[in-house]
Structure 1
Amino acid sequence: MKLSKKTKRFIGLISFVIGFVASLSIVVDKWFNSQEFDGKFLFFSFFFLHFILKYVTWGKIYENEEENEFDKQIKAKSSRMSYYIIMMSSITILYFFSDSENYPLLVTVGLILVTLPLTEFLYSKRYKNVSK
């Protein structure tokens, strides 16, 4: 029996939702029952959520298909916005929920603050050299 493209997409979406719910359930269960935090399962929850959102937005997981101009604009604007959201949330987490001796978080926040300007600088140099 050959499945239609719509059925395959639905099965893929359901499998990612099940993975997300299972991972998040383990995190919540450990947190409420033993007051322990398991970062591995939280990471996998975000991992599954990433694919769910990508699947719902674009109807595909892989990037190998052609994009039109509208898709490129959506990706450019959403990536810039997500950069600022991540920057603000990591600064908030550092300020309210962590002490100043959490060096990995401090380094992460520092890298987040310089990533966009550094990337813009490198791309501007690249395009200025190409246009000459």
Structure 2
Amino acid sequence: MKNYCAILVAVVALFSLCQKALAHTLYQDPIKIQAYVTDPAAAIKKGMQQYDWLVESEDASGLIAKLVYKDYELRVAISYSATQIDVASLSEKRINCVVAKREKCEIEQAYIDRWRSNLRRGITKAIHDLAIADAYTKLAAQ
């Protein structure tokens, strides 16, 4: 019995120490970029196109991206600098959902995670393509 209590205390302590890490998901981590990404906004837009995300608004330091898929709408804020790209959630909602009809107006978190992961995947693929192009130009220059 003492062993079970000790294990339980250890597990609770482990989860409390890792709480910050557990609250942060992969698609929220900053995307690091290198010098070969001369125009981060263009790379972001190219990555967004792959998964049908649209630019809702844009300014000098970032943009608001929107995904409308079937009856769902997601909005995220994408900010960038010379060294990294950050993605933050703004809103998730079901379009034309009427609570009076007893519909579920909530979106399953698995769907949100998949759509945001796809956005991150598209952006990182666009950055990867730039890295490959940069490597080829450096190789050709030798």
Question: Which structure's residues are more often strand, by fraction?
Answer: 2
Higher helix share goes to which structure? 1
Query: TM-score of the superposition, structure 2-length normalised?
Result: 0.28
Give the TM-score of the pair, scaled to structure 1: 0.30
